[in-house]
Amino acid sequence: MLPRNRTLEIRSQNLWIALLPVLVFIGGEWFISAFGLYRVDPGPDQAFSAAAEAGGRYAVYGMFFLFVAVCISVTVIFFLDIDTLFNRPSRRRLYAIVAGLGAIVLIVIVLGPWIWSSPKTYWFAGKSLFDDLFAQGKIEWCTIDGNDFIGTLKIAPGTCAQPFSLELVFGWLLKTANILIAIAAGSAIVGAVSCLGKPPEPARSIYEDQFGRLNQYLYLGAALMVCGMLLILSWLHWPDFYFGKENTAYSTLVNGLTIYYGINYSLIVFAYYAPVALILSQRQAEAAKTPSEERAKPTRTPSKTRQDFGVAAIFKVVFALLSPFLTGLLGTLINLLSGGIGTH
C-alpha cells in the first residue's frame, strides 16, 4: 500500500500530460462547430404535447441530479486522495493544475461563440425545435410583485405576472453541469497524472500501487463521461414527441450526435490514461532490472503488475476506455430496435 503520510512528490515535467485530454476536448468542440450543421430543421410532424414535454423534462432533471452526484463524488475522492499522499508543494501543484484545466474548459465553453462562432450544443439537434419546446413548455414558478412563488402554494391559477422561462431553467442546468464537469474532469485527469508521483526512496512495489490508483481514476473518469453521455441523451430525446414513427429524420440526427460525443468522450479518457500507463510500465521495467534486496526478501504478497495483467483485467480497462462510446452506441441501438422515436 502507498504510504498515507504525505511523502509522495511529483515533478512538474510530468504534468504536461494533463493538457492532452483538454486538447482532445477543444479539438472535438471546434470540429463539430466548424463542420457540423446547427441550422438544421428535423421537420417535426406532431403537435406539442404538454404531458409528453413534462415527461422528457423530468428525465433531464433526473439525469442532471445523477450527473451532479457523480461530479461531486469524483472531486471529493480526488482531494482526499491527494491530501493524504503528497507533500505540500506537490499538493499545491496538483490543485493549481486542476484549477487551470477547469478554467480552460470553462473559457472554451463560455467564449466558444466568440472564438470560433460555436453554437450552443443543443442547436445541433435543431435550434428551431428547441425554441418551440422552450416557448410552449411551462414552468409553475413565477414572479408576483418582485416575490418568487412556486406552483400554487401562494398564488391562484392565472395570476402569474412573469412566468419563468423553460429555456432559462435549461440554461441554468447546462451552466451548472459545465462548471461541475470542468472541476470533476480536471480532478480525474490530474488524479491519473499524479500516479507518476514517487516517494524520495521508492520501493519497487510503488508501481503496482500506482497502477491501482491509475485504474481507479480511469474508472472515475469513465463514470463521469458516461453520466455526461446520459445527460446528453436525456435532453436529445426530450423533443421525441414531435415526431411520428415514420419520421426518422430526428432519430438519425440523434444517433449521429450520440456516436460523435461518445467517441470524443472515450478519446478524452484515453488521452490521460494511456501516457501515464506507458510511463509507469517503463519505470516498472527499469526497476525490475535493478538489483535490490526486495527481490531476495519479498515483504508483501505478490499482486498483479502491469506485465502480468490477465484477460479479465485488460477487458476491464478496455471497457472503461470505451464506455462513453458504448453508452451512445447503446442508445442508438435501442432507438433503432424500437423502430424510431415517434409514438404515433
Each residue's pLDDT expressed in tens, for the chain with a length of 344 residues? 666 667 888 888 888 999 999 999 989 988 988 888 877 888 888 888 989 999 999 999 999 999 999 999 999 999 999 999 998 999 999 999 999 998 988 887 776 655 555 567 788 888 889 989 988 888 776 655 555 555 544 545 555 555 567 888 888 888 899 899 999 999 999 999 999 988 877 677 788 889 999 999 999 999 999 999 999 999 999 999 999 888 888 988 988 999 999 999 999 999 999 999 999 988 888 877 766 554 444 444 444 444 445 566 777 888 788 888 888 777 666 665 555 444 44
3-state DSSP call for residue 87? coil
Query: Phi-psi category of 165—alpha, beta or left, where left has phi over 0 and alpha has psi -120 to 50?
Result: beta
**Among the listed residues 271, 265, 202, the one whose alpha carbon sits nearest the alpha carbon of residue 233:** 265
Give domain status of residue 133, yes or no. no
As a whole number of angstroms, the distance between CA 82 and CA 87 comes to 9
- The 10 Å Cβ neighbour count of residue 169 is 17
Residue 197 lies in a domain: yes
Partnered with residue 162 across adjacent β-strands are 143
Q: Which domain holds residue 275?
A: 13-122+173-287+304-337
DSSP 86: B
Per-residue pLDDT at 156? 52
Q: What angle, 0 to 180 degrees and rounded to 10, lies between the N-to-C axes of helices 166-193 and 19-35? A: 140
- For the chain, the domain total comes to 1
C-alpha–C-alpha distance, residues 59 and 233, integer Å: 10
Nearest-angstrom CA–CA distance, 142 and 107:
32
**Sheet with 147-150: strands ordered across:** 147-150, 141-144, 162-163
Which class for 326: exposed (0-12), middle (13-18), buried (19 or more C-beta within 10 A)? middle
Structure-block grid coordinates of residue 203: 520501493
The answer to whether residue 27 is domain-embedded is yes
Residue 276 resides in a domain:
yes
Determine, yes or no, domain membership for 333: yes
Contact 341, 243 (CB under 8 A): yes
Where does residue 203 fall: left (phi above 0), alpha (psi -120 to 50 degrees), or beta otherwise? Answer: beta
Is residue 258 included in any domain, yes or no?
yes
**Burial of residue 117 (number of CB atoms within 10 Å: 0-12, 13-18, 19+):** exposed
For residue 6, tell me if it sits in a domain: no
- Whether residue 264 lies inside any domain: the answer is yes
Give, in order, the Cα–Cα distances in Å from 282 to each of 24, 279, 305.
25, 5, 12
